A and B are shown apart, each in its own frame.
Chain A
């Protein structure tokens, strides 16, 4: 199975900050990586697919980069609506796996 490791697990930031979340795969997954945002009591929402493609309707302050085993989600200027938990997910093959999550908190 491909293991996905996210860091940090918790991040404290202020509105307007540039935020970076990392995701590492235990083996190469090419660009088959997605990022999701989840708020308490809600289903996850797709932000980025194929490592760097922005899902329709997602603000352009979200961006993704990386390939192989190292990936990054960047929020260029954190907004109040962005405080949430973020997950990466690989889809190189079944079994699909998620990272452990990064909670972005208000500083």
Chain B
């Protein structure tokens, strides 16, 4: 069964850091681009960051550029998002999502999401 399982969410103070992980199973992980997509409470979907299947190229939304770092370990089928200098506006459910191709594409598989709350 194709599956994505996120972990690492929680409560963090403004200015703090958090690292999200996404464990993938049921497909050849290195063959697909992956992204993080977030959804603030009661709001719409916002793409946060993406990485090619090879891991050679990474991309970020302007709202997180310079603060977040996406990475992947194809040997462990794991996607990560290192989030630094967190702000209240980063509070959201963070979804790990598999893209249909090796570069940017539509998202055919989503994780269940992990909640990140930035508050003092």
Contacts and interface: CB of A to CB of B under 8 A. Distances in A.
Do chains A and B interact in one complex?
yes
A95 B44 contact: no
B20 to A, nearest CB: 15
B36 to A, nearest CB: 11
Contact of B104 (A1, A55, A87, A91): A91
A52 interface: no
B106 interface: yes
B106 A46 contact: yes
A74 to B, nearest CB: 18
A51 to B, nearest CB: 10
A43 B22 CA distance: 14
B11 interface: no
Task: Give the interface size class of chain B.
Answer: 20 to 34
A55 B105 CA distance: 14
Interface in B3-61: 35, 44-47, 50, 59, 61
Contacts of A89: 45, 47, 106-107
A101 B45 CA distance: 8
B45 A94 contact: no
A87 B110 contact: no
